[in-house]
Amino acid sequence: QAAEISLEEKDQRIGELDRLIERMEKERHQLQLQLLEHETEMSGELTDSDKERYQQLEEASASLRERIRHLDDMVHCQQKKVKQMVEEIESLKKKLQQKQLLILQLLEKISFLEGEPNRQDS
């Protein structure tokens, strides 16, 4: 039972991590859109009055790129965690199945031995 509870908890944790990854990917997408907007605006013709705005956009774009890289790293790390947890769950499930099989074999053996006439009585 403890192993089954542990498996359920790990399953829940995987679900939480999947949702976290999904939120991070959505945030990354939003940042990509903002970056694209900035780059599009920066690609237009510049007048002297636009130079300050261009500088602001350049700084904002650099910040967005850094945030995107950070999110990419975080997503990669979380995906790695999920993969490890899935592998661990698979391993635990195999061990649980092996133990259940062993229990069934032992129960069959006990049942067989209980059904045999007592040899010492002969």
Distance CA 78, CA 2 (A): 26
Q: Which residues contact 72 (CB under 8 A, 6 or more apart)?
A: 28
Give residue 119's pLDDT band: very low, low, confident or very high (50, 70, 90).
low
Q: Is 120 within a domain?
A: no
Total residue length of the chain: 122
Tell me how many domains the chain contains: 1
Contact, 25 vs 75, CB < 8 A?
yes
Give residue 68's pLDDT band: very low, low, confident or very high (50, 70, 90).
very high
For residue 46, the SS3 value is: coil
pLDDT (0 to 100) of residue 5: 76
Q: Is 122 within a domain?
A: no
Q: Taking the CB of residue 38, how many other CB atoms lie within 10 A of it?
A: 21
Q: Is 41 within a domain?
A: yes
Q: Is 56 within a domain?
A: yes
Residue 122 pLDDT > 70:
no
Residue 45 one-letter amino acid: E
* Percentage with pLDDT > 90 across the chain: 62
* Percentage with pLDDT > 70 across the chain: 94
Distance CA 46, CA 12 (A): 53
Q: What is the pLDDT of residues 4-52, one digit of tens each?
A: 778 888 889 999 999 999 999 999 999 999 999 998 888 887 777 778 8
Global confidence as pTM: 0.68
How many separate helices (H) and strands (E) can be counted in the chain?
2, 0
Pair of tokens at residue 16: 């939480």
Q: Is 32 within a domain?
A: yes
What range defines the domain where residue 6 resides?
2-114
Distance CA 61, CA 35 (A): 6
Contact, 10 vs 82, CB < 8 A?
no
Q: Is 121 within a domain?
A: no
